[in-house]
Amino acid sequence: MTWFDSSVHRALAEAVLVGALGGVVGVHVLIRRLPFFTMALTHATFPGIVIAALLGADLYLGGGVFGLLITLAVVLFSRVRGQDFTAATGIALAGGFALGVVLVSAQDGFAKDLTAYTVGDILAVSARDLAITAGIAAAVTLLLVVFRRELLITAFDPVGAAALGLRTALIDFILLAAVVVTVVATVPALGVILTVALLVGPAATARLLTDRYALLFPISAAIGVSCGVAGVWLSTVWNVAAGASIALLVGVVFGLVFLGSHGAALVRRRAAARPL
Amino acid sequence: MSLIEPFQTPFMARALAELIILGVLGGTVGVVVLLRRLAFLSDALSHTIFPGVVAGYLLAGEDGVFWGALAAGIATAALLTLLTRRVAQDAALALLLTTLFAAGVVLVSRRSGYASDLTAFLFGRVLTVTPEQLWQTAAVAAVVIALLAALRRPLLLRAFDPVGAEAAGVRVGLLDLVVNVAVALTVVAAVRAVGMVLVIALLIVPAAAARVLSDRLTVIVPLACLIGAAGGWLGLVVSWEASIGYGLRLASGGTVVLVLVAMYGLAQAAGLVRRRVRLGRARTGLEAVQ
Amino acid sequence: MTERPPSTPALILDRVSVAYGDVPVLEDVTGTVNPGESVALIGPNGAGKSTLIKAVLGMVPVVRGRIEVLGGPPAQARRHVAYVPQADTLDPDFPISVEQVVLMGRYRWMGRFRRASRADREEVAAALEAVGLADRARDRFGTLSGGQRQRVLLARAIAARPRLLLLDEPFNGVDAVSQHALLEALAGLKAQGTAVVVSTHDLAIAHLACEEVCLINRHQFGFGPTGEVLTPERLRATYGGRALELRGDRVIVGQT
């Protein structure tokens, strides 16, 4: 395993894994309108990570447990009649992150730790982190493949799905669990704020490129992987933050595709309007 | 725990004043954010102004920060309008948020020691508020609140019935732009004190708590302002007590938010009790009739 | 009245009451639907029509009374019951084709892992044929008009070969061509022995397509043959006086 001895190589491998994972899970995030919820989730895992660090426990476990707790709380809460899911999500986001900030500030070394959490530190990824990410990627992919029909039917028509006999609550939970786990895997690399970039950008770009559900997944994964790898490379060349470079590239790629498809639509309209 | 003692020093008094003004501003704008479900937009704005802050600072020092942030906020609103023609709104917001924030981080990370600059932006420095900054915040608050007060009828109509509002002659597009600008100004003003990450709390939590306690706008708005201001006050008291009494240095911005969330929790509990009492009364009333 | 061979009713409602928490939503609904028959559920918005449909699907528990679907409790009968929601509750931007939507109706046969078989594909084609949209199979669902999307959702239910079909306001805002196609498809299903429950605001359609009507506004104001039950007095009682009488016996119901 000599190739993995270099931190840059490990960062590249991590970028490939989180890029593909984020791309695939991102399609579901997009279709089920979960970007805001995912943002809240990334902020909510933060106190879990901090508490785990304080207790000397595994950071992934801490982040994951807290993330699942928050997910449960928000889902249960929004089922109470008359409660606003958006407001609940916003409060979970703010409250979760504030808790993490306060916990970290209670110790010393405030600034540097927080920076790593918020913008990530993909170059500090260890071989163990890499193994865990690979395991998570494999597990999540398996889950999404096994339940792909149920996920599609529930996404398209939740009431109809329940009428067909699908256990929609279970499907929803599986999806949210997949998102939580993906977030926990990605936060060490990209940080709390920028993780959402990989979970939304590649999928949104893929959606601009195709109308076919089945194609969304490979296209989105490919975009995620390319942006991940290119971002790490750019950060070594320009000496800038790697996670931020990845997120920036995701945005730039989306922007280019958006302009391109917008331009194409305009050209089509002009051509159609031209008198014969 | 003394509620007055911590504020005898000038810097604490200024911090208190800043947080009270921000609480009132956040409470007012927050009700609009709640009614129009603009929580994610507000969160996005708090992140997208970052490259504006960095660019403004690089170009014009401390003074450039405000205008850089404002320019970035307006650019965000414009880009959002463009994107939402073809992309779902929350996806567009998520993309704008992360891309622009990432741009800011990339810019800032070229310098060494960028961690502390980032921290100040992310978590705020309410304890180092200067008198000038206090006046600036007060000015922004006055302008925004006056604006919203003047527009309260079209705002309410638009929130409740957008189509009816348009039919009644309300210029919905213009109104939305005004609201977005109001949110952007609030975000820019609050970022300095509580930091980017926690601005959204000031906007969402007081209004949500007030909403739980009342159904009438004439009560909700002042209640939200009260809760916002009280949260700031208590938050400062708690972090001061922790520091003096227990030797724990707690981030003030974070403490304020936790106090606000706790107040929201209390409001929810009170709301639950209120609902139960009402239901019980209704049921006994029904039984008496039958 | 046509002779019907004796058979198990497709649906039996026996003094059914439903509540959400402490709030009663439906009280004392009673009636029977036989195979090959259709009943129109009529009542103002919020009357409990959707709730009744959900109760028949087993998605909402019954507080009092009993529902029997195809001879047993609702949960057991799901294999043979299909549901058609209103098309405008679905996201028109969803990246899915018309064919894929109809294929969803075959889920019961395909399960989680099996690929779509030839039989599945034939059923999909037949169902699309029945609603007159065979030529749009490959198009994205959202590119169709509202009425056409409603027809696709009916095709999805047809592909499931149900013995009981439940439709939630399928005719709302649907153009004349699609309405005709929907009625034709429903008639075809009834001829094959499927029982149909359809909620609607449209009294003309009730007269045209349904042997029985059920008048609901939290309570039941009638359940029986259309000609007998759909009277101005009963409609006025159902809609709480918000009905306008025209020409003595025809009643136009105001939008609620």
CATH no. for residue C180? 3.40.50.300
pLDDT(C21) > 50: yes
Cβ separation C95–A213 shorter than 8 A: yes
Any CB–CB contact under 8 A between C94 and chain A?
yes
Q: Which helix (H) or strand (E) holds A77?
A: helix A59-79
In whole angstroms, give the CA distance from residue B240 to residue B248.
9
Any CB–CB contact under 8 A between C22 and chain B?
yes
Cβ burial C122-143 (10 Å sphere, 16+ → b, else e): ebbbebbebbbbeebbebbbee
Architecture of domain B5-289: Orthogonal Bundle (1.10)
In a domain, residue C209? The reply is yes
Domain that holds residue C126: 11-253
Q: Are strands C23-33 and C11-20 parallel, antiparallel or unpaired?
A: antiparallel
Q: What is the mean pLDDT of residues A43-60?
A: 81
List the single residue in C83, C100, C101 with the smallest CB-CB distance to A163: C83
Closest chain A CA to residue B272: A80
Residues of C in contact with A150 (CB under 8 A): 112
Cβ burial C37-49 (10 Å sphere, 16+ → b, else e): bbbbbbbbeebbb
Return the sign of the alpha-carbon dihedral for residues C97, C102, C104, C106.
negative
In a domain, residue C2? The reply is no
C251 to chain A, minimum CA–CA distance in Å? 33
Residue B3's identity, in one-letter code, is: L
In whole angstroms, give the CA distance from residue A248 to residue A227.
9
In whole angstroms, give the CA distance from residue C27 to residue C219.
5
**pLDDT score, position B108:** 82
Q: Cα angle at C27 between C65 and C154, to 5 degrees?
A: 85
Residue A131's identity, in one-letter code, is: A
Predicted ipTM of the assembly: 0.87
Cβ separation A156–C57 shorter than 8 A: no
Cβ separation A159–C89 shorter than 8 A: yes
Contact present, B235 and B256 (Cβ < 8 Å): yes
The neighbour count for residue B281, using CB atoms within 10 Å, is 10
- For C54-79, what is each residue's pLDDT tens digit? 999 988 889 999 999 998 998 888 88
Closest chain C CA to residue A80: C21
Domains of chain A listed by start with CATH number: 2-273 (1.10.3470.10)
Domain tally, chain C? 1
Residues of B in contact with A216 (CB under 8 A): none
**pLDDT score, position C1:** 46
Crossing angle of helices B172-194 and B10-35, rounded to 10°: 150
Placement of tokens 């019935």 in the chain: B161
* Residues 6 or more apart whose Cβ sits within 8 Å of residue B286: none
In a domain, residue C21? The reply is yes
Residue A136's identity, in one-letter code, is: I
Could you tell me which of C245, C237, C196, C189 has the C-alpha nearest to residue C215? C237
* Count of helix runs (H) and strand runs (E) in chain C: 10, 11
Backbone angles phi, psi at C225, to 5 degrees: -55, 140
Query: Domain residues of chain B, as ranges?
Result: 5-289
Q: What is the mean pLDDT of residues B64-78?
A: 84
Tokens of B168: 């009644």
Q: Are strands C11-20 and C81-84 parallel, antiparallel or unpaired?
A: unpaired
Q: Are strands C212-217 and C38-42 parallel, antiparallel or unpaired?
A: parallel
Least reliable range by pLDDT among A10-14, C109-113, C131-135: C109-113
**pLDDT score, position A69:** 84
Cβ burial B56-67 (10 Å sphere, 16+ → b, else e): bbeeeeeebbbe
The neighbour count for residue B198, using CB atoms within 10 Å, is 29
Any CB–CB contact under 8 A between A5 and chain C?
no
Residues of C in contact with B283 (CB under 8 A): 22
Per-residue confidence band for C248, with pLDDT thresholds at 50, 70 and 90: very low
In angstroms and rounded to an integer, the radius of gyration of the C-alpha atoms of chain A is 20
Closest chain A CA to residue C167: A160
Total residue count of chain C as it appears in this document: 256
Tokens of C48: 């409990």
Quick check: helix, strand or coil at residue C251? strand
Q: Which of residues 144-203 of A touch C (CB under 8 A)?
A: 146-147, 149-150, 152-153, 155-157, 159-160, 162-166
**pLDDT score, position B286:** 63
Cβ burial B81-104 (10 Å sphere, 16+ → b, else e): eebeeebbebbbbbbbbbbbbbbb
Contact present, B125 and B73 (Cβ < 8 Å): no
List the single residue in A153, A207, A211 with the smallest CB-CB distance to C107: A153
Contact present, C23 and B278 (Cβ < 8 Å): no
Q: Which helix (H) or strand (E) holds C14?
A: strand C11-20
In whole angstroms, give the CA distance from residue B133 to residue B124.
13
Any CB–CB contact under 8 A between A255 and chain B?
yes
- For A74-96, what is each residue's pLDDT tens digit? 777 766 655 567 777 788 878 88
Residues of B in contact with C22 (CB under 8 A): 279, 283
Cβ separation B283–C22 shorter than 8 A: yes
Quick check: helix, strand or coil at residue C165? strand
Cβ separation B87–A258 shorter than 8 A: yes
Least reliable range by pLDDT among A65-69, B208-212, C121-125: A65-69
Least reliable range by pLDDT among A47-61, A220-234, B228-242: A47-61
Contact present, B203 and B26 (Cβ < 8 Å): yes
Residue B98's identity, in one-letter code, is: T
In whole angstroms, give the CA distance from residue B180 to residue C80.
51
> Exposed, middle or buried, C247 (CB in 10 Å: 0-12/13-18/19+)?
exposed
B279 to chain C, minimum CA–CA distance in Å? 9
In a domain, residue C22? The reply is yes
C172 to chain B, minimum CA–CA distance in Å? 20
Closest chain A CA to residue B85: A262
Contact present, C232 and C221 (Cβ < 8 Å): no
* Residues 6 or more apart whose Cβ sits within 8 Å of residue B265: none
Closest chain B CA to residue C22: B279
Closest chain C CA to residue A31: C94
A149, A167, A168, A212: which to substitute to probe chain C, counting the most C Cβ within 10 Å? A149
Residues of A in contact with C112 (CB under 8 A): 146-147, 149-150
- For A93-147, what is each residue's pLDDT tens digit? 788 888 888 887 777 655 556 677 777 888 888 888 899 999 999 999 999 999 9
Residues of B in contact with C93 (CB under 8 A): 88
- For B19-59, what is each residue's pLDDT tens digit? 999 999 999 999 999 888 888 888 888 889 889 888 888 88
> Exposed, middle or buried, B178 (CB in 10 Å: 0-12/13-18/19+)?
middle
Measure Cα distances from A50 to A102, A116, B239 in Å: 10, 12, 19
- For C156-209, what is each residue's pLDDT tens digit? 999 999 999 999 999 988 899 999 999 999 999 999 999 999 999 888 888 889
In a domain, residue C3? The reply is no
Best-predicted range by mean pLDDT among A211-215, B152-156, C231-235?
Answer: A211-215
B174 to chain C, minimum CA–CA distance in Å? 27
Any CB–CB contact under 8 A between C227 and chain A?
no
Closest chain B CA to residue A100: B254
In whole angstroms, give the CA distance from residue C57 to residue A66.
36
Could you tell me which of A117, A94, A110, A111 has the C-alpha nearest to residue A193? A117
A1 to chain B, minimum CA–CA distance in Å? 32
Beta carbon pairs, B and C, within 8 Å: 3
